[in-house]
Amino acid sequence: MCRRWGWAAALALLWANPLAAQGQAEALRRVEAQLDSMRGVAELRASALAAASATDTAVAGRLRVTTSVPLRPLAQAAADQAWALLVRRFGASVTSRATIPVIQFGDATSSPLAGADTSEVARGFERLASDAIWRHQGALFAEWLRGNVPGVEFPASDRAVIAEELLRTPARSNRACYQGDAAACAVSLGLRVGPDTLAEWYLPEAWPRLATMVGGQLSGLETVSKQQCEQAGDSAACRAILTPAHVLLPVSVGGRRFLLQEALDVGGDGAFERLTSAGDLALADRLSNAAGLPLDSLLTRWSTAIRAGAPHGPAQPSWELFLAAAWSALLLLVVLGGPRWR
């Protein structure tokens, strides 16, 4: 399948004749759009195949799950749960219009699994459906999230990772952002960055090492630029390789996903609709509209949540240490109360 996509991408690149005249980013965006549409066709095909190979269907709202007869009760319960979660997350009006591919759960011969967790299955359905909903929201979000659609809710434990990133990555704005400076957070999160993104994010002294982190497939020119930047610190070469698409983000996509989630959580009913409403609104405005707050307030809230989730050292939480002491005392009591020597 990957090979087919590779050929398709190559053909699309050849077909896009005026590539040389346009910016690389524009061309890539066009190829991505074509790939997205092809992926959509493949999804529909997979859905049709899924529907044909199973013998029963569980339906909840616009969620359709094809499954075997023995698995149907589990699939139905999970689909109901998943649909409730989707409605809560995206709002009734979005979910009622959503195009969700048919989900296949087991095949025609599958039998129920002992100890299967309905909530776990429901979370799987929810993830697949929300992936589909997010994928239809256009390039703005896909680009900002670098293709990582927020399929599942952002786990609270991952805030520690973002806190660490803010203090670890040598981006100019990160420390101020960690301390609650909303303007700095907007820069770190790529919401308010000027045309010279690289200089706004990182000091020139950090560029050579940033270049060492650039991975993936590079063209010959890019490889040369990378080497010149790493070895000689040539700023023109650094600028050539450390494009917004290649450079290490000051805050990774996880942080961006968490901001999106915060905006939706704060915004409550209709937040997703406001976020994805039609029109030529910038991402910052969309987030602000979704949350029903000025962007700076939303970013301050985000930063506070990150600080609250930051780790507090190996001795925390203290209850873990007390628990260890309690277990030790209990085990010791059992040994001391033992009946005999051997």
Partner 1 sequence: MFRALLWTQWRESRIAVLLLAAIALVAPVLSMNRLGPATEPWHAWDLLSASMRWSSSYPIVALLAAIALATGAWRPDHRTRHVYALSLPIRRSRYLLLRYAAGLTLLLGIGAALLAGATIAVLRVQVPPLLHTYPVGLALRFCMAGLVAYTLLFSVSGLTPRAARLLAALLLLLIIASLVADLLGLGWNPVERAMDALLSPYSPLSIFRARWMLVDV
Q: Which residues bind partner 1 (CB under 8 A)?
A: 113-116, 160, 163-164, 167-170, 175, 178-179, 202-203, 205-206, 209, 310-311, 313-316, 320-321, 323-325, 327-328, 331-332, 334-338, 340-342
CB of 330 to partner 1, least distance (A): 9
201's tokens: 């994010």
CB of 209 to partner 1, least distance (A): 6
CB of 320 to partner 1, least distance (A): 6
Nearer to partner 1, 18 or 314 (CB): 314
CB of 65 to partner 1, least distance (A): 18
Nearer to partner 1, 83 or 201 (CB): 201
- The answer to whether residues 326 and 334 touch, using CB atoms and an 8 Å cutoff, is no
Only one residue has tokens 């969700």, namely: 100
CA distance 64 to 175: 46
CB of 241 to partner 1, least distance (A): 18
What are the start-end ranges of the H helices in 91-156?
92-97, 118-135, 139-144
- The answer to whether residues 177 and 296 touch, using CB atoms and an 8 Å cutoff, is no
Nearer to partner 1, 15 or 327 (CB): 327
Nearer to partner 1, 245 or 324 (CB): 324
Nearer to partner 1, 81 or 174 (CB): 174
Nearer to partner 1, 285 or 320 (CB): 320
CA dihedral sign, ordered 156, 158, 164, 165: negative
104: which strand partners?
A: 66
Q: Give the contacts of 114 (CB within 8 A, at least 6 positions apart).
A: none
CA dihedral sign, ordered 143, 145, 146, 148: negative
60: which strand partners?
A: 63
CB of 311 to partner 1, least distance (A): 5
What's at 254, amino acid-wise? Answer: G
